Amino acid sequence: MTDAKTIGELEGLDADTQFILEVAAITHDIACPLCRKKYGNTNGKYQEQEGAPLVREFLADTGMTAEQIDRVAYLVGHHHSPAQINGIDYQILIEADYIVNASESGYDQQAIRTFMEHTMKMAEGIRLTKTVFGV
């Protein structure tokens, strides 16, 4: 999800936060194949439930610190829960994932405006959304 990388860079994240964000963005949908097989769909709650353990296993031998893996697992395990945002990396991941989902699923202009008004906080995420969707 290049939108997360772009938003993070434009917002001037420190190197470690940018790294965590990018790893979370790459792995955030890690549970989708399992969810399709196990539940017959990729419901966000199922993705969160199944994703955190999968990403921990996936990242175990990468040389990342336990703290980094914990944060990525937390982000993957909460990326469909915007009410629980607790960090700039989480905020950007939610915004970038929404931009991708809105584009892929053809969300209507009102839904996009509502998300922008109620959930988005990052200036660059808002700017990117306005540019992509013309809202």
How many angstroms separate the CA atoms of 15 and 19, rounded? 6
Q: How far apart are CA 33 and CA 30, in angstroms?
A: 7
Residue 3 phi, psi dihedral angles, 5° rounding: -60, -40
List C-alpha distances in Å: 112 to 7, 53, 129.
17, 31, 8
pLDDT, tens only, 77-107: 999 999 889 999 999 999 999 999 999 999 9
- For the chain, the C-alpha Rg in angstroms (whole number) is 15
Report the alpha-carbon angle 12-99-133, nearest 5.
105
DSSP 49-97: HHHHHHHHHHHTTSS--HHHHHHHHHHHTTTT-GGG--SHHHHHHHHHH
Phi, psi of 106, rounded to the nearest 5 degrees: 65, 45
pTM over 0.75: yes
> Is residue 47 classed as helix, strand or coil in its secondary structure?
helix
With 90 as the cut, is the pLDDT of residue 1 above it?
no
Select from 52, 74, 134, 128 the least CA-distant residue to 97. Answer: 128
Quick: pLDDT tens for 108-119: 999 999 999 999
Pick the more confident residue, 2 or 68: 68
User: What percent of the chain is predicted at pLDDT more than 90?
Assistant: 96
